[in-house]
C-alpha cells in the first residue's frame, strides 16, 4: 500500500471511501484498513486526522447528520408546492436510497460509536434517524399550517412511522432498492387519513 499518496481533502475522501465500503459490503466490513484501502492511501493517514477509528466513525455519522440538517430547510420551503405525497416520497427515497440504511446499521452495532454520538449530540433516540424524523415533522407541520394536511394531524407520530416503514422497504440489501411506486404507495397509505384533497391556502395546488 503506498504511503505517500496526497489527498486533496483527506477527511472527505476517507468519508467517501467509508460510504462505498458500507454500501458494497455492509457495516461488518467497515474497518480502518478497509477504508484506507478503498481510499488508496496508507492506514496512517486516517490516524493523522482522527484520534482513533471510533472517532472517525463518529465524524462520518455527524457529517451525515449535518447533511440532513441542511436538507431540513429546503424540504420545509417546498411545503405548498407539488403534492405532499410526492414530496415525502422524494425525500424518503433520497434519504434511504443513499448510505443512510447502512449507517443506521453501523450505529446500532457499535456501542462505543453510539456513546460518542450521544456526547456530541445529547438527547433521546437513535442518531441520524432522530434528525431525519425531526426533518419530516418540520415539513409536515408546515403543510399542516397551509391546510394541506388535517389540522389535527399528529405529525410527531407520522414522521417516525414514515421513517420506520421506509427503513423496512430499503433494508433488504440483497434485493436492491424498492421501486419508486412501492415507496409512493407506502407514503400514500401512511398519510391517507390526514391528506386534504383541497388546500385552504390560496394558490396552493391540489394534493392528489
Domain boundaries, the chain: 1-49, 59-191
What's the pLDDT at 43?
Answer: 83
Residue 203 confidence (pLDDT) above 70: no
What's the pLDDT at 8?
Answer: 54
DSSP string, 27-47: GGG--HHHHHHHHTS-HHHHH
Percent residues over pLDDT 90 in the chain: 52
| pTM for the model | 0.81
Say how far apart CA 74 and CA 154 lie, in whole Å. Answer: 22
Q: Which residue has the higher pLDDT, 199 or 48?
A: 48
* Structure confidence by residue, pLDDT tens digits, 14-67: 999 999 999 888 888 999 999 999 999 888 889 888 999 999 999 999 998 888
Average pLDDT over residues 62-86: 92
What's the pLDDT at 7?
Answer: 46
Q: How far is CA 54 from CA 29, 36, 60, 64, 81, in A?
A: 14, 15, 10, 15, 41
Q: Which fold has domain 1-49?
A: Arc Repressor Mutant, subunit A (1.10.10)
Percent residues over pLDDT 70 in the chain: 88
What's the pLDDT at 1?
Answer: 39
* Structure confidence by residue, pLDDT tens digits, 86-135: 999 999 998 887 778 888 888 988 888 988 998 888 877 888 899 999 99
Say how far apart CA 185 and CA 85 lie, in whole Å. Answer: 9
CA dihedral 119, 124, 125, 130 (to 10 degrees): -80
Say how far apart CA 177 and CA 166 lie, in whole Å. Answer: 11
Q: Which residue has the cell 390560496?
A: 202
Q: What is the CATH number of domain 59-191?
A: 1.10.357.10
Say how far apart CA 95 and CA 168 lie, in whole Å. Answer: 13
Residue 4 confidence (pLDDT) above 60: no
Q: Which residue has the higher pLDDT, 161 or 4?
A: 161
Q: Which residue has the higher pLDDT, 13 or 208?
A: 13
What's the pLDDT at 145?
Answer: 97
Q: What is the mean pLDDT of the chain?
A: 86
E-strand stretches of 29-134: none
Amino acid at each position: 500500500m503506498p504511503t505517500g499518496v496526497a489527498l486533496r481533502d483527506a477527511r472527505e475522501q476517507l468519508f467517501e471511501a467509508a460510504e462505498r465500503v458500507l454500501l458494497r459490503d455492509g457495516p461488518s466490513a467497515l474497518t480502518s484498513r478497509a477504508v484506507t484501502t478503498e481510499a488508496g492511501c496508507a492506514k496512517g493517514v486516517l490516524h493523522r486526522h482522527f484520534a482513533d477509528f471510533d472517532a472517525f466513525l463518529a465524524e462520518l455519522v455527524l457529517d451525515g447528520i449535518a447533511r440532513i440538517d441542511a436538507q431540513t430547510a429546503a424540504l420545509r420551503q417546498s411545503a405548498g408546492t407539488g403534492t405532499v405525497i410526492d414530496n415525502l416520497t422524494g425525500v424518503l427515497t433520497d434519504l434511504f436510497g443513499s448510505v443512510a440504511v447502512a449507517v443506521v446499521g453501523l450505529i446500532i452495532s457499535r456501542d462505543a460509536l453510539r456513546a460518542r454520538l450521544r456526547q456530541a449530540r445529547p438527547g433521546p433516540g437513535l442518531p441520524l434517524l432522530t434528525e431525519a424524523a425531526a426533518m419530516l415533522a418540520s415539513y409536515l407541520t408546515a403543510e399542516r399550517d397551509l391546510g394541506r394536511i388535517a389540522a389535527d394531524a399528529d405529525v410527531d407520530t407520522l414522521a417516525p412511522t414514515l421513517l420506520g416503514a421506509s427503513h423496512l422497504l430499503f433494508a433488504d440489501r440483497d434485493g436492491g432498492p424498492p421501486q419508486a411506486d412501492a415507496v409512493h404507495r407506502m407514503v400514500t397509505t401512511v398519510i391517507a387519513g390526514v391528506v386534504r384533497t383541497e388546500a385552504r391556502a390560496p394558490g396552493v395546488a391540489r394534493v392528489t
